[in-house]
Amino acid sequence: MATLYSRIAVIYAVILFSTYLSTGIAALGINYGQVANNLPPPERVLELLRSLKVTKARIYDTNPQVLAAFANSNVELIVTVENDMLGQLRDPQQALQWVSAHIKPYLPATRITGIQVGNEVLTDPDSTLKANLVPAMVSIHGALVQLGLDSYVQVSSPNSLAVLTQSYPPSAGSFDSEIYSVVYQFLQFLSTTNSPYWINAYPYFAYKDDPSRISLDYVLFNPNTGMVDPYTKLRYDNMLYAQVDAVTFAMARMGFEGIEVRVSETGWPSKGDPDEVGATLENAALYNKNLLRRQLKNEGTPLRPNARLEVYVFALFNEDMKPGPTSERNYGLFQPDGTMAYNVGLSALSTPSSTSSATISLASSATKFSAGGVAI
């Protein structure tokens, strides 16, 4: 009987997920990583996204199988230029050839809306890589212009919060002086092309590194007293919004006030090593459930309350071949076989947030997706 009830609960949650997403979470996407040897083919991944009504996804390359599979779907796709390609693509002719081979053939059937040039390049120890970033972005954008595709595809590059030397309080946000010159060129490009600044923002890391001083409720979007920026008097009830606004303030400090900040990655691991404090199934479910609740409101941050914040959740699947600590392989909402890693508690979205894990219906094996959609 318990198994039957858990299956019914999961089906109900999935139906609600589809309903909520189809009625207005236009600013929510998901990262579709592929560092695994057991993932379903792209065609089945697309079926999963369709069943969840997710219409935005990001991949970490330009995998032709994915690009072809996503043709004639309603899913907007952001693709990525691998870091080791930047040196080659700073050359305009090489960039033109790359766009002609990796982007142009798939448009407009596949809705490629963005090209991320590298990943977390500004904090990479390789100085040559940093030097190649903006020239590669300029060349790729130039190729899009030459091919008449620049009005459809934006060019940017996601960075971690490590680009900031100070992020607390948000109004004190400032970039690392050691990368000031390349950051300035980077922001100049974004401003000129009207492209967003993407950040990989993980409140989990801040909590893991200092759990005795950082409130778990604050990082999980649970009810809490929050913090008030002493200079702006803006109140923050969660760390993610504070991180986003810190980047906005840092850009303004360099003279760039009109660039939109978007979150290219955020998430919470459902499992970790003994020293990875907070990496639990319950916390992962709470973080993503509460984040989705905020996305349903299409709300902005305290600094920009009327500009909805676009967020891409990390990640769609657990990826068994990712190096590093256990947490790295356990950010997925789903297992590779299509079962839920955990239920994000979408059936509770109509009720106030709760700190109790009892409100989360955890289901690790009750639901799979099939060729016909969601099935048990």
In angstroms, the CA 348 to CA 82 distance is 39
Contact 17, 346 (CB under 8 A): yes
Is 82 an active-site residue?
Answer: no
Amino acid letter, residue 253: R
Is 265 an active-site residue?
Answer: yes
Identified catalytic residue from 82, 178, 265, 328: 265
Taking CA 246 as the corner, what is the angle to CA 154 and CA 197, rounded to the nearest 5 degrees? 5
Tokens of 131: 């030097």
Render 321-340 in DSSP notation, one character per residue. T--SSGGGG---SB-TTS-B
User: Which residue's structure tokens are 């970790």?
Assistant: 272
Identified catalytic residue from 43, 47, 76, 120: 120
Residue 300: C-alpha distances to residues 55, 152, 265 (Å): 20, 24, 17
| Alpha helices per DSSP H over 80-177 | 86-89, 92-102, 127-146
In angstroms, the CA 14 to CA 334 distance is 13
Exposed, middle or buried by CB within 10 Å (0-12, 13-18, 19+), for 209? exposed
| Catalytic residue IDs | 120, 265
